[in-house]
Every structure is written in structure tokens, then in C-alpha cells.
Amino acid sequence: MKHRISHDLGLELARKATARALESYKDQFPEAEPEGRWLSADRAQVAFTVAGKRLKGQVDVAKERIDIELDVPLLFRPFQKQAMAVIEEEIEAWLTKARKGELE
């Protein structure tokens, strides 16, 4: 499943906000064993555990959008929207902090 978050921050600030959001998952959801590994300046590979199953995906940061894609097994598709909502909420919170100059 792909999901797009639009933003007006420009590429560099969006990268910083996204990186901070991915880092914050480790503190907020340790039981999900979240991992984020940057493959390039604009693409991160992510993974977390839900109900004993490891879900993987990627996050791509662009000038006016952040694209999130999760590989969700058929059994977990009923929870797909919930997972995306949690991810989007955290990224949106960090985008808001970036807009207010609160990233540092």
C-alpha cells in the first residue's frame, strides 16, 4: 500500500522532519521493534513488528511530498489503514515542528 503526505517545507527540511519522525518511533513504540535505515538521502527502509509479524516498507522524501509504502500481508490488510494513520500522524507532527522552527 502506498500513501502520500504533501508538505510545503522543501526537500532539506522535509528530510530532517522525516528522519526525526522515524527516530521518535523507537522511543514511542519499543514493543514494535521499529527500525529505519537510510538507503540514500531521500529513501529509508523501515520495518516494525505487529502481532508477531515483521512488516517492511520504505519512505521516500521529495520536494513537496513524502511517500510511504508498506508491504502488508493479506492477513494484516484490515489493519493497514490504522498502521498508515499512526505513521502519518507522527510524520505530520514533525512536519509541523519543522514549520515552527522547532526541529533543533
For residue range 68-99, list pLDDT tens digits in order: 998 888 877 777 787 788 888 989 999 999 99
Q: What gap in Å lies between CA 104 and CA 62, rounded to an integer?
A: 21
Q: What gap in Å lies between CA 54 and CA 101, rounded to an integer?
A: 35
Separation of CA 93 from chain center: 11
CB within 8 Å of 101: residues ≥ 6 apart: none
The model's pTM: 0.87
33-71 pLDDT, tens per residue? 999 999 999 999 999 888 888 889 999 999 999 999 988
Looking only at Cα atoms, what is the longest distance across the chain? 41
